[in-house]
Structure 1
Amino acid sequence: MRGTWTKTALFTLVAMLGVSGCGGPMEDEGPTDEQEELTLDDGDMSALEGDKPSCKKVKADPKLLWPPNHKFHTVTLSGKDDYGKPFKVTIKKVLQDEPVNGPGDGNTEPDAKWVGNYRDRVQVRAERSGQEDGRVYCITFTAKDSKGKTCTSTVEVGVPHDMGGHSKPVNSGCKYDSFED
């Protein structure tokens, strides 16, 4: 009997190995819902496919914030698991690639705050340094599927430098805690 790997299983394996798309311009978040199957040469389907849900199905809404007017915008993380049921998403932390209070950003802080008791959403400030290449917020979360299995990942939300030629924020390394005052 021959086994198959789906794209979801392969992306899950890559995520488990710690490979991520950190740095560089914000990119699309991965595969579509199409399931491409790959054949294994030595037997049955791997048990890895059923071990963890795919965090790639969790998306941020909105993904880009504009205009950079220093106002808070609510970002919600959501997605459906392999069974068509909504994930239970819990945001763990929010980091950003520019200082919370740096040159050219309006001198406002903090840059993130919770939305009531909800943990699947957070408010982040629509601002960026006018001297840099746009701001990227890295929102780390845990998602639990309808079978109780969990995964952990990070989504990016950006504030472009402008809406012209520099409209894709560049992640220069999220190292600043957005909740800091």
Structure 2
Amino acid sequence: MMKRAHGLSALSLLLVTTTALFTGCQSGGDGGATCISLNDFEAATIELWPPNHKTHTLSIDDCIDVNELCEPDVRAFFTYATSDEPRNDTGDGNTEDDIANLTCDSVDLLSERKGNGDARVYNLGFRAIDDMGGTIDGVCRVIVPHDQGGKVPVDSGEAYREEAPDCEP
């Protein structure tokens, strides 16, 4: 199922928030500005449901919205991905590729969590750079809840980390 904050529908990724919490703007010499809006609410949060061990591909555009008023040369890319649950643990479906194919532009995440845990929390680090060298770093949160009971998943800390390739321009 895919649902956005105001009720669009259909597929298997649930976008919990798309509210712009932070907008960074840099003035240009021509009187214009480049603005970067992060889709953020305590880090952008995307929910994968159900926890059926299926792979979901997320793009950088799922985490960040670049609003280019004057400068079209803003580049956003992933820098790392983490999970707060181990690669393979009891009760998680006996799989190891929870984070796979991490590139500058996308990452594959498994929709799974430990059956006896609270939930899985993935954190996707990203960086946005404009053509003047201004940078913004952020984190997009992806959760796989234990159930649909409304309990807020807790990030238990980094169990493992994958680094993205060097994407600096």
- TM-score, L = length of structure 2: 0.64
Aligned partner of 2:124 among 136, 139, 144: 139
CA distance, structure 1, for counterparts of residue 52 and residue 162 of structure 2: 17
CA shift, 1:175, in A, is 3.5
CA distance, structure 2, for counterparts of residue 58 and residue 155 of structure 1: 8
Q: Name the Cα RMSD after superposition.
A: 3.6
Q: Is the 8 A contact 1:53 1:149 kept in 2?
A: no
Q: Is the 8 A contact 1:62 1:75 kept in 2?
A: no
Aligned partner of 1:83 among 69, 86, 89: 69
Q: Is the 8 A contact 1:140 1:153 kept in 2?
A: yes
Q: Which amino acid aligns with 1:119?
A: C
Structure 1 gaps of 5+ residues are 1-26, 36-47
Greater CA deviation, 132-141 or 54-63?
54-63
Query: Number of residues paired by the alignment?
Result: 137
Higher strand proportion: 2
Within a 5 Å distance, the mapping from 1:1-181 to structure 2 comes to 31-32=20-21, 50=26, 54=36, 56-57=38-39, 63-78=46-61, 79-81=65-67, 83=69, 87-114=74-101, 119-145=104-130, 147-166=132-151, 168-177=152-161
- TM-score, L = length of structure 1: 0.60
Q: Is the 8 A contact 2:92 2:112 kept in 1?
A: yes
Q: Which amino acid aligns with 1:92?
A: T
Identical aligned residues as a percent: 34
Task: Answer with 1 or 2: which has the greater Rg.
Answer: 1
Bigger relative contact order, structure 1 or 2 (CA pairs below 8 A, ≥6 apart)? 1
Closer, same or farther: CA 61–126 of 1 in aligned 2, 3 Å: farther
CA shift, 1:61, in A, is 8.7
Q: Which amino acid aligns with 2:66?
A: K
CA shift, 1:155, in A, is 1.0
